[in-house]
Amino acid sequence: MSIAENLQKIHQRIENACLKSGRNPKDVKLLMATKTVSAENIKIALACDENLIGENKVQELKEKYDALKSIPHRTHFIGHLQSNKIKEVIKYADCIQSIDRISLVKELHKTLEKQNKTMDILLQVNTSFEQSKFGFPPHEVINFAKEVSNYSTLKIKGLMTIGLFSSEEAKVRRCFKILREIRDEIRDLNINTISMEELSMGMSNDLETAIEEGSTMVRVGTDIFGKRIHPDSYYWDETMKLEPKK
Ligand SMILES: *Cc1c(COP(=O)(O)O)cnc(C)c1O
């Protein structure tokens, strides 16, 4: 299957899930998760009328930037962000979806303020309560959002989560439901510096469930570009080292 055919299939799946839940397919964006994908293949995908990519590693973001900069598109950072990489990320990304701790927010604000810049962000929530996943515990998100709303350089646009990896759909669905409920609660606070328009949730394996629970942005890698060689945990943690080859 070609990238173009895979994309067609993904859009069909998005449409079917929308139909099933009475939603408009226009309300669900497709972010192409492009970790490990070459600039060449990203170009092929962007040429299929796509315009949104997400990278997990600052190094990859940087490496592909020049090759892609002449093509109109937006780039979100979706990986675990180390504070010492903030300067680079704000140079190359349009939005950071993986805001997961207050120390990061403080550093980010300081750097943006110096450069007279602002940044769109999503707050990452650990809805699966797995140790291995980054993100705020659900019960802390609301207070955190209130605190972040005081930082004028940071524009909260919504929430992001990675669903539980499980074949039990009910458990996966619960993660997405938690995110939607937090979104609704924050919305009800009516804080004018916080927008809750974006619910970034759903990947290759669970995008239908996420859409049924209100996702406005699915992040798809494998089902567009094929399998990756390393397990996902490697891409989520910048500090993670691979086992040396024996
Ligand atoms: C890799 C990745 C995705 C896409 O996952 P697939 O299962 O390949 O579709 C989505 N979100 C994040 C944060 C990722 O790291």
pLDDT tens over the chain, length 246 residues: 899 999 999 999 999 999 999 999 999 999 999 999 999 999 999 999 999 999 999 999 999 999 999 999 999 999 999 999 999 999 999 999 999 999 999 999 999 999 999 999 999 999 998 877 789 999 999 999 999 999 999 999 999 999 999 999 999 999 999 999 999 999 999 999 999 999 999 999 999 999 999 999 999 999 999 998 777 776 666 555 555 444
Q: Using CA atoms, how far apart are residues 98 and 190, in angstroms rounded to an integer?
A: 23
Phi, psi of 160 (to 5 degrees): -135, 145
Backbone angles phi, psi at 49, to 5 degrees: 70, 25
For a substitution probing ligand 1, which of 78, 81, 99, 132 has the most ligand atoms within 8 Å of its CB? 78
CA dist 34 and 167 (Å) reads 24
Cβ-contact 37, 55 below 8 angstroms = no
| Sequence letter at residue 120 | D
End-to-end Cα spacing for the chain: 34
Q: Are 242 and 234 in contact (CB under 8 A)?
A: yes
Residue 45 and residue 63: Cα distance in Å, rounded? 18
CA-31 nearest atom, ligand 1: 10
What pLDDT is stored for residue 245 in this prediction? 42
pLDDT given at position 184: 97
pLDDT value for 66: 96
Task: Supply the residue whose CA is at minimum distance from atom 7 of ligand 1.
Answer: 204
Taking a C-beta distance cutoff of 8 angstroms, is the pair 120, 98 a contact?
no
Out of 122, 127, 219, give the residue to mutate to test ligand 1, the one with the largest number of ligand atoms within 8 Å of its CB. Answer: 219
- Residue 204 has which token pair? 């290759």
- What's the pLDDT score for residue 228? 86
Q: Find the largest Cα–Cα distance for the chain.
A: 56
CA–CA distances in Å: residue 82 to residues 109, 159, 240: 14, 19, 12
Q: Which atom of ligand 1 is nearest to the CA of 223?
A: 9
Question: What's at 170, amino acid-wise?
Answer: A
Q: Which residue has the tokens 């004018």?
A: 192
